[in-house]
């Protein structure tokens, strides 16, 4: 597989951004986005955009990331379709007012929670899954009845260009807009007032987003990352464990925010795991993954150089082959990795997997807890007590037991981080709730007026009310 032809960084007219945001606000203020019929039409448009342009979008993903077509279909396009199907199926139920009880002191009354749209939302997407991570949050924003400004990553330039071309053909351009570009365009967007900002990316940029949002007291959802650990117990089926870890790690050449970032394996089985991982990689991609049509590439030379630096002076168990011209790094496993080694510092976000031995699950839990809270945590074990100890004894955005990535595939499970790995959540109903305000509504009845609550109070009335309500 050769490197994809480069595409110049996309741009939008920065001077036009304030007017474009204002147009979205005018559409929202006019009530354009509130009717359920409009929401259904946009959700159907998102689904049609993906369904009718599979070849085009897969080609863009291959040009940007070298993604195999099936990988692009499942992880990017298929994920958007599943989100859209779920929202269309549940939209009426999600938007129905929720009746809640009214306590004795306010009766007669009816109490309910009404979901209302926040207003104009900004969605900023990353480059690693550039279709899914732009359009999946859009599903929630549209289902909730918001106007939306979309900002794809300029790094995945081919996909950005196709989404910019397709969006106005399938979506209401008065209420859903898309701005291409890099730092200048993003900065101009962040200078505007939005009612919610949804950002997926790294913590450094997230700080910039939060600072900009603070000027307008705009709520934010941050989907970040971190060093997601994988804990391997002594009792596992090692061949199955290795296949699952290798698949989740080397999917998209490791450029996945919830990819296993390092493995803590029981010391007695470290050698077996490394050997099984080597067999799994060869089974997936052949003796030379560079020749495999099923193995992606690093997004650009800048990231390739960063990852290559992690291999300097490292103990490479297997892999470690580089080709800067093709932005290729082979699936790589490291051994004898010190806890303070460069590969154990920041999130790797590439096809390099450190393997560290531990004496038992308690040591593994302690190791995880000495570090920042990750977006995902994986544990492979047959011991239910060990499973429960990890779930209760660690903090992470989500946990997947005896699997990798699969907790993302259940729309009933909210997906999000905790602490430095993110704030807020989405997927399924959680997406709808993220872009909604839960408005409390209480309606009093007319048949009884609580005159004892009115002044003048007096000693007797005060004593009676305190006795009744205390």
- If DSSP codes are grouped into helix, strand and coil, which group holds residue 425? strand
Indicate whether 241 belongs to any domain. Answer: yes
Q: Give residue 289's pLDDT.
A: 98
Indicate whether 264 belongs to any domain. Answer: yes
CA distance 304 to 327: 6
In the set 162, 180, 185, 257, the catalytic residue is: 257
CA distance 108 to 28: 35
Does 381 lie in the same domain as 309? yes
Does 292 lie in the same domain as 176? no
In the set 223, 270, 347, 433, the catalytic residue is: 223
pTM surpassing 0.75? yes
Indicate whether 451 belongs to any domain. Answer: no
CATH number at residue 132: 3.40.605.10
Return per-residue pLDDT of the chain as tens, 470 residues.
Answer: 444 445 677 889 999 999 999 999 999 999 999 999 999 999 999 999 999 999 999 999 999 999 999 999 999 999 999 999 999 999 999 999 999 999 988 889 999 999 999 999 999 999 999 999 999 999 999 999 999 999 999 999 999 999 999 999 999 999 999 999 999 999 999 999 999 999 999 999 999 999 999 999 999 999 999 999 999 999 999 999 999 999 999 999 999 999 999 999 999 999 999 999 999 999 999 999 999 999 999 999 999 999 999 999 999 999 999 999 999 999 999 999 999 999 999 999 999 999 999 999 999 999 999 999 999 999 999 999 999 999 999 999 999 999 999 999 999 999 999 999 999 999 999 999 999 999 999 999 888 888 888 899 889 888 888 887 77
Indicate whether 412 belongs to any domain. Answer: yes
Does 283 lie in the same domain as 176? no
Indicate whether 322 belongs to any domain. Answer: yes
Q: Give residue 451's pLDDT.
A: 83
DSSP secondary structure of 270-296:
HHHHHHHHHHHHHHHH-S-GGG-TT--
Does 284 lie in the same domain as 263? yes
Does 168 lie in the same domain as 269? no
Q: Give residue 7's pLDDT.
A: 66
Does 347 lie in the same domain as 367? yes
DSSP class of 136: H
Does 188 lie in the same domain as 50? yes
Does 409 lie in the same domain as 267? yes
Q: Give residue 464's pLDDT.
A: 86
Does 238 lie in the same domain as 182? no
Residue holding tokens 């997230």?
206
Structural domain range at position 174: 14-224+422-439
- Count Cβ atoms within 10 A of the Cβ of residue 413 and give its class: 0-12 exposed, 13-18 middle, 19 or more buried: middle
In the annotation, is 257 catalytic? Answer: yes
| Tens digit of each residue's pLDDT (9 = 90 or more) over 234-270 | 999 999 999 999 999 999 999 999 999 999 999 999 9
Diameter of the chain by CA atoms? Answer: 90
Residue holding tokens 């996945």?
256
- If DSSP codes are grouped into helix, strand and coil, which group holds residue 210? helix
* Chain Cα centroid distance, residue 29: 29
CA distance 338 to 344: 8
Does 261 lie in the same domain as 115? no
Indicate whether 346 belongs to any domain. Answer: yes
CA distance 318 to 287: 11
Does 252 lie in the same domain as 381? yes
Number of structural domains (the chain) is 2
Indicate whether 4 belongs to any domain. Answer: no
Indicate whether 352 belongs to any domain. Answer: yes
Cα dihedral 108, 113, 117, 118, rounded to 10, equals 90
CATH number at residue 280: 3.40.309.10
CA distance 393 to 350: 28
Q: Give residue 105's pLDDT.
A: 83
For the record, the structure tokens of 105 come out as: 């002191």
In the annotation, is 223 catalytic? Answer: yes
Q: Give residue 10's pLDDT.
A: 86
Does 110 lie in the same domain as 53? yes
């Amino acid at each position: 597989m050769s490197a994809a032809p480069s595409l110049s960084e996309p741009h939008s007219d920065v001077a036009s951004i304030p007017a474009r945001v204002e147009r979205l606000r005018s559409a929202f203020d006019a009530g354009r986005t509130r009717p359920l019929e409009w929401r259904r039409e946009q959700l159907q448009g998102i689904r049609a955009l993906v369904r009718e342009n599979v070849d085009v979008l897969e080609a863009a993903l291959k040009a940007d990331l070298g993604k195999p077509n099936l990988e692009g279909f499942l992880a990017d396009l298929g994920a958007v379709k599943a989100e859209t199907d779920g929202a269309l199926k549940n939209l009426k139920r999600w938007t129905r007012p929720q009746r809640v009880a009214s306590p004795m002191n306010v009766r007669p009354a009816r109490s309910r929670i009404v979901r209302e749209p926040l207003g104009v939302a900004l969605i900023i997407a990353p480059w690693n899954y550039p279709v899914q991570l732009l359009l999946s949050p859009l599903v929630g924003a549209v289902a909730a009845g918001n106007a939306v400004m979309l900002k794809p990553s300029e790094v995945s330039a081919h996909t950005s260009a196709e989404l910019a071309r397709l969006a106005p053909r399938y979506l209401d351009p008065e209420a859903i807009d898309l701005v291409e570009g890099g730092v200048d365009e993003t900065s101009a967007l962040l200078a505007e007032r939005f009612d919610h900002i949804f950002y997926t990316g790294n913590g450094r940029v997230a700080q910039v987003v939060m600072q900009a949002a603070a000027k307008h007291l705009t709520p934010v959802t941050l989907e970040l990352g971190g060093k997601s650990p994988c804990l391997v117990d002594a009792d596992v089926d090692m061949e199955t464990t290795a296949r699952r870890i290798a698949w989740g790690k080397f999917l998209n050449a490791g450029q996945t925010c919830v990819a296993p970032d390092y493995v803590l394996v029981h010391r007695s089985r470290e050698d077996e795991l490394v050997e099984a991982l080597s067999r799994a990689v060869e089974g997936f991609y052949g003796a030379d993954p560079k020749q495999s049509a099923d193995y992606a590439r690093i997004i650009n030379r800048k990231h390739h150089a960063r990852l290559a630096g992690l291999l300097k002076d490292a103990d490479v168990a297997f892999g470690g082959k580089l080709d800067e011209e093709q932005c290729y790094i082979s699936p790589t496993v490291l051994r004898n990795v010190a806890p303070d080694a460069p590969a154990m510092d920041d999130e790797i976000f590439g096809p390099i997997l450190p393997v560290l031995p531990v004496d038992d699950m308690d040591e593994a839990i302690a190791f995880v807890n000495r570090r920042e809270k990750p977006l995902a945590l994986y544990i492979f074990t047959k011991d239910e007590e060990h499973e429960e100890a990890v779930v209760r004894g660690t903090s992470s955005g989500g946990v997947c037991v005896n699997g990798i990535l699969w907790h993302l595939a259940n729309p009933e499970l909210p997906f999000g981080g905790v602490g430095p790995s993110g704030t807020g959540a989405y997927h399924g109903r959680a997406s709808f709730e993220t872009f909604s305000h839960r408005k409390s509504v209480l309606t009093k009845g007319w048949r009884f007026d609580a005159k004892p609550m009115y002044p003048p109070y007096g000693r007797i009335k005060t004593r009676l009310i305190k006795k009744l309500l205390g």
